[in-house]
Amino acid sequence: MLLYHLSVVLFNSYVIWYDQQYVEIPLPDGIKNMSFKARGIFLTFWCFALQTIYFGTAVLNDIIGTNATAPKNPPLIRRVKDIVFSSAFTLALYVFATFWGLYLIDEDLILPAHIQEVLPNWINHGMHTTIVPFIILELLLTNRNYPTRKVGLSVTLLINFTYVFWIHYLYFTQGTWVYPFLDLMNWSTRILFCCTSSIIGVLFYILGENIHYIVTPKKKLSVNGSKRD
C-alpha cells in the first residue's frame, strides 16, 4: 500500500500548495491576514490536514512500522497511525455529509457565490469529495487495530470541541461567523446545531469502528483487545 499512501499524500500536498499559491478567498480584514491565508478557520482545512497527516503517517508505517493483521506489540508509528485513522475517518464523513448536504439545500449557506468565483472546482472536490473514497479505500484494504472507544472518541471529540471553541472565539473577537448559515441561526439553534454535530460525529465514529470489524472478520477483537462474539 506504500504507493497508494504516497499518491494520496502527493495529491493532498499539491491541493494545499495550489490553494496557497493561487486561490484568494475574500475574507474579513481581521481574518484574512492569518497564517496559511486563514484557511485554518474552516473545518474543511482541519479535515484535509488530518487526512494528509494520516496518509503521511501511513507512509512511515509502511517503511519502518508493520502492516501485520494484529501485531502483539505494534511499534509506536503503527499505534499512532491507527488512532489517527479513527478520527480521520470520522471527520471525513462529517465534512462530506455536512458540506454537500448544505450545498444541496442552498449552496450559499456553505459556499457563497463570491467564493465559488475564485475556488477551482477541482480544489473544491479535492477537499470535500475525494476525502471519502480515499479513507474508505483505506478502511477496506488495509490492516489496523482500532483504538479503544474511550481513546478514539476522546481524540475525535477533542478535535470537535476545539473547533467549536475556535469558531466562537473568532466570532467574539472578529464579529463574524466562519460559515454563512451560522448567521441565520439564533443562539439556541447554534447550540442545538453544535450538539447535533457532536452526536453525528460519534455515530460516524461508531460506524467506522463497526465497518472495520465487519470487513476484517479475522481480526474480530473488541476495542479492549478481547475476542468479539
- Domain spans of the chain, in order of start: 2-219
Q: Give the cell for residue 213.
A: 470489524
> pTM for this structure?
0.89
User: How many Cβ atoms sit within 10 Å of the Cβ of residue 213?
Assistant: 15
Q: What's the pLDDT at 70?
A: 77
Closest by Cα among 67, 199, 222, 198 to 149: 222
- Per the model's pLDDT, the better-predicted residue between 72 and 21 turns out to be 21
> What is the per-residue pLDDT for 106?
92
What is the C-alpha separation between 122 and 46, in angstroms, rounded?
A: 18
Query: Residue 228: pLDDT above 60?
Result: no
Q: Which of 12-21, 62-71, 103-112, 218-227 has the lowest mean pLDDT?
A: 218-227
Q: CA triplet 105, 111, 113: central angle to 5 degrees?
A: 105
pLDDT in tens, 132-176: 999 999 999 998 889 999 999 999 999 999 999 999 999 999 888
